Amino acid sequence: MKSWLSTAMGLMIFVSAHSQKNFVPGYLLKPNGDSVRGLLQEEIKGELLKSVSFKKSDASETKNYSVTEINGFKYDGGNLYKAISFADPRVDSFQKKTYFANELLKGYYSLYEFVEDERIYYVAQNDSNSWLLYNVAYRPTGQVLEEGNYLNKLILLAVGCESLQARVEKTEYNVRAMMTYFIDLNKCLYPEMAVTNFYKKAKVETSFYLFAGGMGSTHGEITVDGLFRFVNPQISTKTSINIGFRFSNFVVTTDELSGGNIRYQAHTRQMLYCIPATVQYNFTSG
């Protein structure tokens, strides 16, 4: 009689570099030119369009400041937000909007960025005009939801700079490409004016999950699953890029017939490796 010994073990390890902070150091920019130091709400761009929460210390009462009450605010070592107004060409009569937007460049043409409904928008602005720039948007089915306008606007703004107009079609819709274009645009049209770069690279939060399990028997089986999760909370806390890995070492048992027509069981060890990459969107928050 065979003696079988079966054991089971499981190991779950969770390591997370994500650190939730409700408030971080920064300051408000008051209309009279003064600044007030204290703690600003955590930077999630889509939640900062029309107001920001602020308190002078951890023990102080929190107060919300609307886009009409202050000129802006700045995170220590981070982004500078200004209250800006612009016309939205997608709305009848070019409705005027006023938002807090992240200032990327300051020059004859200044460049701002904001996030609304998890879409990134840019606003180009000078002393007398502003232009809302946006990319094409698609439905989940792949159909076009809204045509973009940023390429046409870049051509319009670069009148007088043929070299810039010639490269518009190759200008991608991302912060680095847009900043490069507007830096060169300012240098081309108004070389005597200084351009100030306020861009701060967003901090990506990383979480790591690891699960390992196995069955101790005469064959021995083990499975290991790992996942790296990358989130840019300034853009969206609901969307992440996931890169995982899986390793499985297991035995497959099959019924076979020998040359003498004797039935027996064959045991074949197999190993499986894979590295899946996914984009995840959480429809519920929390």
Which string of DSSP letters, residue by residue, matches 159-174? TT-HHHHHTGGG--SS
Q: In terms of pTM, does the model score above 0.85? A: no
The pLDDT score that the predictor gives to residue 111 is: 98
The pLDDT score that the predictor gives to residue 118 is: 85
The pLDDT score that the predictor gives to residue 284 is: 52
Strands (E), the chain: 7-16, 23-29, 35-41, 51-55, 63-66, 72-75, 80-87, 96-106, 110-116, 119-125, 130-133, 137-138, 144-146, 196-197, 205-216, 221-231, 239-257, 263-274, 277-281
What CA–CA distance (Å, rounded) separates 222 from 271? 10
Give the pairing of strands 196-197 and 96-106.
antiparallel
Q: What are the structural domain ranges in the chain? A: 7-16+203-281, 23-197
Looking from the CA of 148 toward its CB, the CA atoms found within 13 Å total 18
The pLDDT score that the predictor gives to residue 234 is: 53
The pLDDT score that the predictor gives to residue 236 is: 59
Q: b vs e for 107-127, b when ≥16 Cβ sit within 10 Å of the residue's Cβ?
A: bbbbbbbbbeeeebbbbbbee
- Give the residue ranges of the chain where pLDDT is below 50: 1-21, 285-286
Closest residue by Cα to residue 101 from 86, 91, 112: 112
